Each structure stands twice: as C-alpha cells, then as structure tokens.
C-alpha cells in the first residue's frame, strides 16, 4: 500500500491567520490519522512579495501550533528550473502562447465590449475571460513584439489543450465545493479561459507550480480551502497534459471573520502571531477554528 502524503502549502507573502491554522492543523491531523506523511511547501514564486523573514514567521507559527513537518521544506523559488521544463513541454506541444495585453488594455477592451450591452463572460472567481486577440497573433508578430521588449505572460490555450486531450476529466472530491459538490466532480477548465501559466521573468504561475510540485512531492491528498475548488479543473488539465499522477482532493470550509468575510493577510486580529502575543494557546486556536483539541 502506498503511504498517503499530505501537504500544507502557504505562500510566504504575508503572515498566517486563523484560516491557515485551520488548513495546516486539518492536514496534519488527517496525515496522522492515515499514518501518512506531512510535508510543508513554501509557495514563494512572487519573489517581490515573499521574503525569508515571512518564511521564518510561518515556521515559528506552525511550530507553536504543534505541527511537525519533514525536512527539507520545498521552497518554490529554488525550483524554477522544474517549472521551466514543464513550460517548455507545453510550448513544444503548442499549447501556450505569449500574451501582450496589459491589465489596462484588458480593462479597456472589456469596457468597450460591454458598452455595447453584452456582459463579457467571467471565470469562477469573477474575472473577465481573456479575449482571443493575443491568441490569434501570427508567429512573426509575436517574435517582433518580443524582440521589441514588450512585456508578456504565457497563457494556456485552453481550447487547444482540451482538444489535445480529447476526453473529459474529473476529480475525486472528499471535501465539498461551494455548493456542496462532492464525490466525482466533472472538471470544467474552459470556465477559466486562457489562464496565465508563466510570466516573462518567472517561468511559472500558481497553477503550473502547484501542479508540478504536487507531482514532484508525491502528494496523494490535496487538502486546501474551498476557494480553490474550481481551480482544480485547471490543475487536472495540466496533470493530464503532462501525464502526472492524480491526487485526491479535499476542499475544506473557509474560516470567516465576524462579518462573514474571508480572512486576509492584513487582518492583524486574526493573525496567529497576534493571537499568540495576546495570550491565546494552540488549544484556543484549535477551538476557534472548530477543531477539537485531541488529534
């Protein structure tokens, strides 16, 4: 029998809050219950917002919570070559293209399209789908723009990618989606349009790095917040395109603040370090997020 492998994968762009504590503790408890392994991964591809100090603060908070993880920790910024190799494969298969539209261009384009009265389609997070303009550029035009130093991002050609696959995909959901979806979930990557798969200076995006890393680390159980439920469709598509193993997924409830809002990194009063300094114990944190004390 294969040993179950769980992971907690925070981004080191801010401090851990109660939502992270819940995710980390839940993963850790599930791993122990299953006699499995528990790994930690630092998602720091955005090197402008992530820092070694923030990474150290994450270790301190997790240690204080009583969580133990295997060493070495996988730090994404140490593995850009892995993501570049994956990106090269997608490029060789003609499944990605450089997009040159800036945020401003995109806003203006959507506003103009919507001024004519039709609502532009949105992805599951509510962002407008990327228009086809850049996808339709000729190879010579792309070359010229890149040679001129135009900034660009690599996007997945979602229609081509789904066509290359030629069959539907799904995943095994052991938690639940926002509408209580559970069991075998049909994946709908088209709902996201042409997602960003890498940036000009960074050979990856969240979607690519998370998928490559879950495979490299042999993760069998992805336990994470329900806000990533629909994004799983993109991860499943990348797994299929690259022949990667498929973990089980468990999307858990999100911890909300008293007003029902999602917690953010800037909300000091729900930060683990702030709660610790205010005298809370790890058992208090477990109770606050609805986990009982005993693992």
Name the site residues for ligand GLU (rule: CB under 6 A): 9-11, 43, 210, 224, 228
Interatomic CA distance for residues 262 and 20, integer angstroms: 12
Q: Is 166 left (phi over 0), alpha (psi -120 to 50) or beta?
A: left
The CB-nearest residue to ligand GLU is: 224
Task: Tell me, rounded to whole angstroms, the distance of Cα 18 from its chain centroid.
Answer: 19
Q: How far is the CB of 205 from ligand GLU (least distance, A)?
A: 12
Nearer to ligand GLU, 209 or 241 (CB): 209
Pick 12 or 99: Cβ nearer ligand GLU: 12
Closest CA to 155 of 201, 97, 210, 91: 97
* 22-54 core/surface letters (b: 16 or more CB in 10 A; e: else): bbbbbbbbbbeeeebbbbbbbbbbbeeebeeeb
CB of 60 to ligand GLU, least distance (A): 17
Instruction: State in angstroms the smallest separation of the CB of 222 from ligand GLU.
Output: 6
Closer residue to ligand GLU in complex, CB, 98/247: 247
Closer to ligand GLU at the Cβ: 11 or 270? 11
Q: Which is nearer to ligand GLU, 225 or 282 (CB)?
A: 225
User: What's the closest the beta carbon of residue 232 comes to ligand GLU, in angstroms?
Assistant: 9
Please report how close the Cβ of residue 138 comes to ligand GLU at its closest, in angstroms: 36
CB under 8 A, 24+ apart: contacts of 87-95: 87/154, 87/197, 87/198, 87/203, 87/204, 87/208, 89/242, 90/156, 90/197, 90/241, 90/242, 91/154, 93/164, 93/241, 94/157, 94/160, 95/156, 95/157, 95/160, 95/161, 95/164, 95/241
- Closest separation in Å from C-beta 206 to ligand GLU: 7
| Closer of 24 and 87 to ligand GLU (Cβ) | 24
Q: Whole-number minimum distance, CB 200 to ligand GLU, in Å?
A: 22
User: Would you say 24 or 153 has its CB closer to ligand GLU?
Assistant: 24
Copy the structure tokens of residue 70.
Answer: 């295997």
User: For residue 256, what are its two tokens?
Assistant: 């909300």
Helix (H, G, I), strand (E, B) or coil at 170: strand
């Amino acid at each position: 029998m294969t040993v179950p492998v769980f992971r907690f994968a925070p981004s080191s762009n801010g401090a851990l809050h109660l939502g992270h504590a819940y995710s980390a503790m839940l993963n850790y408890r599930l791993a122990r219950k299953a006699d499995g392994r528990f790994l930690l991964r630092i998602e720091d591809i955005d090197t402008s917002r992530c820092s070694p100090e923030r990474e150290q603060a994450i270790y301190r908070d997790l240690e204080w919570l009583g969580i133990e993880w295997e060493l070495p920790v996988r730090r994404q910024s140490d593995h850009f070559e892995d993501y570049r190799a994956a990106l090269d494969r997608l490029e060789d298969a003609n499944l990605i293209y450089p997009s040159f539209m800036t945020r401003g261009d995109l806003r203006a384009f959507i506003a103009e399209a919507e001024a004519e009265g039709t609502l532009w389609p949105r992805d599951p997070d509510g962002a407008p789908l990327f228009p086809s303009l850049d996808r339709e550029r000729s190879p010579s035009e792309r070359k010229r723009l890149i040679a001129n130093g135009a900034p660009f991002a690599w996007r997945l050609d979602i229609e081509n990618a789904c066509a290359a696959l030629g069959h539907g995909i799904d995943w095994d959901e052991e938690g639940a989606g926002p509408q209580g979806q559970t069991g075998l979930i049909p994946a709908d990557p088209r709902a996201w349009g042409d997602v960003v798969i890498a940036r000009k200076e960074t050979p990856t995006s969240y979607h690519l790095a998370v998928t490559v890393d879950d495979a490299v680390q042999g993760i069998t159980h992805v336990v994470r917040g329900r806000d990533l439920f629909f994004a799983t469709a993109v991860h499943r598509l990348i797994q299929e395109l690259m022949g990667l193993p498929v973990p089980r997924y468990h999307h858990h409830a999100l911890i909300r603040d008293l007003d029902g809002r999602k917690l953010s990194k800037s909300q000091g009063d729900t930060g683990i370090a702030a709660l610790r300094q205010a005298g809370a114990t790890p058992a208090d944190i477990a109770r606050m997020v609805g986990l009982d004390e005993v693992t």
